Structure 1
Amino acid sequence: MNYEYKHISKLVPRHRVPFFISILLTTVLSPVTMGYDSLMMGNLNALPQYLDYFHIRDDAALLGWMSAAVWVGSILSCFLMQQLSDKLGRKKSIVISVIVGLVGVILQSAAKNIAMFSIGRVIIGFGTQLSVAAAPTLISELALPKHRGFLGGLAFTCFQVGALIASGVTYGTRNITTTWAWRIPSIIQCVPALFSIAALVFIPESPRWLISVGQFDKASEVISIAEGIDIDAGMKRVQEIQVVIEEEKARVSSSPWKEITKGVYNWKRLFIMLTQGLVTELAGSSVGTYYFSLLLNQAGVTDVSTVLQVGIIQSSWCLVIALIACFTLDIVGRKPQALFGTTGMIVSFFILGGLIKKYGNSDNVSGSYGAIACMFLFQGFYNLCWTPMNTLYPPEIWPFKLRSAGVTVFKFFNCGFGLFGTFILPIGMSNLGWKFYMLNAGYDIIFLPIIYFVWVETKGVSLETLDELIGCPVVLDEESLSSVELVQVDGRGKSDKQ
């Protein structure tokens, strides 16, 4: 007997495959925007039209600020992430973030001076991070455990799609002699955001958020489609999830910010967020994005066209590796893949530093190509774990009541370290040369024992039982299930006991 879905929008697909395609269209477009911005700025740093217009060619500090300003907005957005996502829902948070980001792109594209350009980039960072926080949370709460690694990882993997598009666009505008050489790439940054708004009409709200606000009929219909089960089984899942949410409410105070530092298990979660933020932003990733052109110059590659061509190849390489990583995360697991990728990053940076020391200022073409190859290897190992893990792991290890707050904490660490790294990197790379890569590799070694001994494996585990891995058990017994009373809340705030 076919069930007539009456509570969710008619535009939401009723079958699993088109349903998840619609979800992915929205969740991946935010990272596309972020990836586009990252590589666009990296390539603009190689364009004379951009450097000369703002008079920053020989000012490493100002060059760093022009790229790093986006992180200031990202940090400021952390103060609203949890409130928007929990109060308004994941979907409305994405809408707000996209609109804010569009305002920033307009200011950046029309910039007449450094101040206007910087304000635009701050606003872009504010909007982008709001979306990048809400979208992965939405998909983690919709995906089945066996698919969560692929779907959650794919969200930020599309960072590389944006990076590839940015590489192609800036290469195409490189020969324009006016400021349109950098304004056109900036304007095109609007396109993913506009597509994201269009795709939102085809997706539902997170069923777990719907359950938390008493909209059980909607939640059961979303779960029925997402898990490919009938509506009665969907309502049973609603009841199971509600048990967990009620248990969380019993031990979580009204404010998640008061609860997030209570108990050894939550401090463990916070430490994991801290270390993931550190390795994501300060393990060397920005060298291959914002300052890839500086690395190529140190390796002896100075021609603008060649730098941009290498950027296109690099973006394609990173995208392929990140896509492979999305598939293997549900097979190999989060921890083994992170350990393998980080070890490869360390080895690659040690070799890169040695090659730049020996061949950086020489005419040896083979030495320069070897240094570039090592950077490609580094980026490959990085994208094998840290690109997909960026949006996958933080939502996984937090319970529902603390999930938005936990993701916000990760984004705060992530953005704070991103701001520090993006601003400091050009100064360090310019002053330390080859030693910079040696120091970075040595620092990355610290993360290996932390990942091995502290992190938890989340492969194939449901969100409702992940607490057990942290040391905070959740019990789903028949007595608990039978004692839960579902009180339906409609859109006007009225309730109806079921």
Structure 2
Amino acid sequence: MKYNASIASNPYVVGSFACIGGGLFGLDISSMSGVLNNQSYLSTFNRPNPSVQGAIVASMPAGSLLGALSVTQLADRLGRKNTIILAGIVWVVGSILQCASINRGMLVAGRIVSGYSVGLSSAVVPIYQSEITVPAIRGRMVSLQQWSITWGILIQYFLQFGCSYIDGVASFRIPWGLQMIPAIILSLGMMVFPESPRYLFDHGREEEALQVLADLHGGGDRNNELVLLEYEEIKQQVYLERVEGAKSYLDLLKPGNPRRVMLGCSLQAWSQLTGMNVMMYYIIYVFEGAGLTGRRSNLIADSVQYVLNVLMTIPAIIYIDKWGRRPMLLAGTLFMGFFLFLVGGLQARFGDWGDHEGKRVWVVTDNAAATRGIIVCSYLFVCSFAVTMGPVSWTYPAELYSLKVRGKAVALATAANWTFNTVLAFAVPPGLDTIAWKTYFIFGTFNFACFIHVFFMFPETVGRSLEEVEEIFKQGHVFTAWKIKRDVGKKTLSDLTEKSKVEGKREDSPDDPEQ
């Protein structure tokens, strides 16, 4: 089906619609948090202990790891658009399995299938968004991915909160079934949106790529200066890559690429090691440990955290292209580490081992001030993540790489996210069950370690085209990233036109390996 040019004329509409794929990630995160103390869920699945519950939760990110790795091939073979459509279809299948599950095995199978879908969408959507937007708004567009995740978390949680008043298995089956609706909308809707112009050019569809660029950034005018600038940048990059030979995984090891692959993978890993998704998956356990009693009051307190997560992502969306990536990461990791140490310190000082609903937990008892302090610090931690690390962790990896390796490199970065997500989802319940408050100190330390890593090794990429980012890494500065200024790599249309002529002649020369 040919895309609708009138829809493609607005890059905000194109990029934001693809973000429904990020919403599937959010639906996954809170699909378990609202049922952890649901009696119907517990009886249906034979009251899983902390280790078993950790395995059930971890099955989704394990599937996501496989999905993200698949994007290393699918993004370049099927295209960005078709891979997003496929992700929606797979999610529907997984949702059906979860909704109909009658035992742990069926539930885990459904979560793995849904996780595969999330892995596909979480890896390919940032690529698609980064390739259809101009540098001035790219950070804003890709950070919409994080905002859609927060909306998915919030919507799923309130569905579960509302259904918690229903007696019986419908209290958890209805939310798991309704979550297939966004995926259906995503797959059907993407059919009328354009393919990435960079993917089109790379596959010999130059005229179509130019028209898509014109529709997205020039109101349909193929002679618009911005359109021609982007077209020349893409053309120059593709010519260069064709001269270098066919694409392969070995390209990731060529000079200049290993450092960038490491940066993308490490940032996605750090986004998990901050402890944010732990607070999302297991917030009920966190607030139980804080001494918040009563299932309804716990659910209400949890919902405040999810609302804050949505609201505090908005400033990041608006200002990410003004503040820059580095300042946001540096500030966020400092604040998150500080608030996690406060949570751990308050629990250590005022808590003790006790019994809660028949299970041994570290809990704060008879100290309302400490309970409120832990809850407030948890809220402030979530706000710190939402306005900094959350959106940047998706934006930064999507703009690091050249066209030739972008699909594979971004997929590997996302795979790193899911690898750590899987490990932490599995490990945290036993951790809270054994070392209790020390768990928060571990994640707080990870945040401070991330601060050091970002300060020395992560250069600023804000405001540059994807092709201009290449110039940043030619400057060196492996351990002095703060020295790279914002004007490094800036090019004009005349610069690119002249350079593309040279590359075009080189491509047409008898020595061209394509000839």
- Within 2, Cα distance between the matches of 1:110 and 1:450? 45
Deviations 1:159-181 (A, max 9, x none): 01011111211110112221111
**How far has the Cα of 1:228 moved from its partner?**
2.2
Q: Which residue of 2 aligns with 1:417?
A: 420
For residue 212 of structure 1, what is the amino acid of its counterpart?
A: D
Q: From 329, 351, 366, give the equivalent of 2:342.
A: 351
Find the residue that maps to 2:19 and give its secondary structure: helix
Structure 2: distance between partners of 1:438 and 1:115: 34
Question: Residue 337 in 1 paired to residue 328 in 2?
Answer: yes
Q: Does residue 323 of structure 1 match 2:326? A: no
Alignment of 1:200 onto 2:190: yes
Shift of 1:381: 0.8
Which of 464, 468, 476 aligns to 1:461? It is 464
After superposition, the C-alpha distances for 1:22-78 in whole angstroms (9 at most, x for unaligned) are 4311x2111111101211211111212112211235x11001011110111112223
Indicate the residue corresponding to 1:168 in structure 2. 158
Match of 2:403 in 1: 400
Question: Which residue of 125, 129, 135 maps to 1:135?
Answer: 125
What is the distance in 2 between the residues matched to 1:326 and 1:184? 32
- In structure 2, the CA distance between the partners of 1:77 and 1:440, relative to structure 1 (3 Å rule), is same
How much has 1:484 moved relative to structure 2? Answer: 5.6
**How many angstroms apart in 1 are the aligned matches of 2:311 and 2:191?**
30
Q: Following the alignment from structure 1 to structure 2, what is the Cα–Cα distance between the partners of residues 73 and 38?
A: 13
Query: What residue number does 1:53 align with?
Result: 44
Find the aligned partners of 1:101 and 1:198 in 2 and give their Cα distance. Answer: 13
Shift of 1:354: 1.2
Cα separation, 1, equivalents of 2:281 and 2:230? 45
Distance 1:249 1:281 in 2: 36
- Partners of 1:88 and 1:343 in 2: CA distance: 41
The answer on whether the counterparts of 1:281 and 1:418 sit within 8 Å (CA) in structure 2 is: yes
Whether the 8 Å CA contact 1:249–1:401 is kept in 2: the answer is no
Could you say what secondary structure the match of 1:329 adopts? helix
Structure 2 counterpart of 1:117, which letter? L
Indicate conservation of the 8 Å contact 2:273/2:446, yes or no.
no
Q: For the Cα contact (< 8 Å) 1:97–1:127, is it kept in 2?
A: yes
Q: What is the aligned counterpart of 1:66 among 56, 75, 80?
A: 56
Aligned equivalent of 1:24? 16
CA offsets 1:308-329 (integer angstroms, 9 cap, x no match) = 1122211110111112111121
TM-superposed CA distance for 1:236, in Å, is 6.0
Aligned to 1:260: 252
* Mapped partners of 1:154, 1:297: distance in 2: 32
Q: Check 1:456–1:293 CA distance in 2 against 1; reply closer, same or farther (3 A cut).
A: same
1:442 aligns with 2:445: yes
Partners of 1:34 and 1:10 in 2: CA distance: 26
Partner residue in 2 for 1:481: 500
Deviation at 1:105, TM superposition (A): 0.7
Q: Is the CA contact (8 Å cut-off) linking 1:170 and 1:308 kept in structure 2?
A: no
Match of 1:122 in 2: 112
Once the two structures are overlaid, the 10-residue window that deviates more, 233-242 or 89-98, is 233-242
**1:400/1:172 CA distance change after superposition, 3 Å:** same
**Among candidates 2, 9, 12, match of residue 2 of structure 2:** 9
Counterpart of 1:403, as a letter, is: R
Could you say which residue in structure 2 is the equivalent of 1:44? 35
1:238 aligns with 2:241: no
**1:240-269 per-position Cα deviation (integer Å, ceiling 9, x unaligned):** 311112213334x52331110222x22211
Q: Give the 3 Å change call, closer, same or farther, for CA 111–254 of structure 1 in structure 2.
A: same
> Do the aligned partners of 1:170 and 1:182 also contact (CA within 8 Å) in 2?
yes
Task: Show CA shifts across 1:180-229 (max 9, x none).
Answer: 11101101110110111232133100001111111122111111122226
AA partner of residue 194 (structure 1): I
Q: Deviations over 1:434-481 (max 9, x none)?
A: 111122212321111210110111110111110111127899554432
Asked whether 1:33 is paired with 2:21, we answer no
Residue 200 of structure 2: which of 190, 207, 210 is its match?
210
Residue of structure 2 in register with 1:186 after alignment: 176
Q: Which residue of 1 aligns with 2:392?
A: 389
Is the CA contact (8 Å cut-off) linking 1:220 and 1:237 kept in structure 2? no
Tell me which residue corresponds to 1:471.
474
In the other structure, the counterpart of 1:493 is none
Shift of 1:109: 0.6
Question: Unaligned regions of 5+ residues in structure 1, if any?
Answer: 1-7, 487-498
Q: 2: distance between equivalents of 1:45 and 1:449? A: 36
**Greater alpha carbon shift after TM alignment, 407-416 vs 476-485:** 476-485
- What letter matches 1:396 in structure 2? E
CA deviations on 1:375-410 (whole Å, 9 max, x unpaired) are 111111111122212321111001111101111110
CA, structure 1 residues 266+482, in 2 after alignment: closer, same or farther (shift >3 Å)? closer
TM-score with structure 1 setting the length:
0.91
TM-score scaled to structure 2, two decimals?
0.88
Task: Give the 5 Å matches for 1:233-312.
Answer: 233=224, 234=227, 237-251=230-244, 253-263=245-255, 265-312=256-303
Q: Aligned in 2, Cα 1:440/1:115: closer, same or farther, shift over 3 Å?
A: same
Residue 486 of structure 2 is matched in structure 1 by none
- Cα distance in 2 between the residues matched to 1:255 and 1:9: 28
The AA in structure 2 aligned to 1:300 is G
- The code of the aligned residue for 1:343 comes to L
Counterpart CA distance in 1 for 2:69 and 2:465 is 29
Which among 426, 433, 436 is matched to residue 429 of structure 2? 426
The size of the alignment, in residue pairs, is 474
- Give the Cα–Cα distance (whole angstroms) in 1 for the partners of residues 131 and 419 of structure 2: 26
| Letter paired with 2:151 | V
Q: Distance in 2 between matches of 1:220 and 1:437?
A: 51
Q: Secondary structure at the match of 1:464?
A: coil
Mapped partners of 1:477, 1:76: distance in 2 = 39
Q: Which runs of 5+ in 2 are unaligned?
A: 352-363, 476-488, 506-515
- Shifted more, 168-177 versus 272-281: the winner is 272-281
Aligned-partner residue type, residue 255 of structure 1: K
SS in 1 for 2:2: coil
Higher mean alpha-carbon deviation, 320-329 vs 290-299, is at 320-329
Percent identity at matched positions? 26
